[in-house]
A and B are shown apart, each in its own frame.
Chain A
Amino acid sequence: AQTVTQSQPEMSVQEAETVTLSCTYDTSESDYYLFWYKQPPSRQMILVIRQEAYKQQNATENRFSVNFQKAAKSFSLKISDSQLGDAAMYFCAYRGGSQGNLIFGKGTKLSVKP
């Protein structure tokens, strides 16, 4: 069975600085996608960024980028120029297999200090 591990329950970053959230996963599948979702306090979960397993190039969305290391099964999220609005729970998720359901990590709570 696939598993997703986020080893940092909480992280803190100074406004305008850069922070990296870690995620590792375990799978024997070759075709899968990886996602980072953001869940702000009392607000809807939204997609931050996604990565296709067969693409070597790391995905980038504005201030958000990933470091995808397929052999190491690592998928970290880098947030540059952190803003107060980035404060949220961040969930790493895996999607693969015949059913294609998302498997979530336990999440990392990110605080941004002004």
Chain B
Amino acid sequence: EADIYQTPRYLVIGTGKKITLECSQTMGHDKMYWYQQDPGMELHLIHYSYGVNSTEKGDLSSESTVSRIRTEHFPLTLESARPSHTSQYLCASSAGLRLYNEQFFGPGTRLTVL
């Protein structure tokens, strides 16, 4: 399996709480991604990063924010969680910008906001 980790794996939290989803990879990959995936549905890109201090918004608008202070770490933060944020969040990484490069995925965080 790929060396990309996400914590927590499952999170149930009340409305209005601030949460941070952690993602780390040990492969030295430059590019990292966050996807949102509802059960049984396609993945939607919400954030990506080309490298340290680089963050971009993806195709799907999201109220979450991300940071990339270290190459290996790409956390996602929700300042005030709402039930509409309930979903699975997948982190991924790839080595550089070549189209050929495979994206490696983490196990995901399943978030439930009550």
Contact = CB atoms under 8 A, between A and B. Distances in A.
Contacts of A105: 42
Interface string A21-44: 000000000011101010000011
A27 to B, nearest CB: 12
Contact of B99 (A100, A104, A107): A100
A104 B100 contact: no
B48 A91 contact: no
Interface string B36-52: 00001111010010000
B69 to A, nearest CB: 22
Interface of B: 1-2, 33, 40-43, 45, 48, 58-59, 90, 92, 97-100, 102-103, 105-108
A107 B90 contact: no
Task: Using C-beta atoms within 8 Å of the partner chain, give the interface range for chain A.
Answer: 20 to 34
B99 A101 contact: no
A-side interface mostly: strand
Contact of A107 (B2, B40, B102): B40
B26 to A, nearest CB: 15
Given A43-B107, A106-B42, A101 B33 contact: yes
Given A96-B99, A101-B58, A44 B42 contact: no
A92 B96 CA distance: 21
B34 to A, nearest CB: 12
Given A46-B2, A101-B33, A107-B41, 12 more contacts: A37-B105, A44-B106, A45-B90, A45-B92, A45-B105, A95-B99, A100-B97, A100-B99, A102-B45, A103-B59, A104-B43, A107-B40
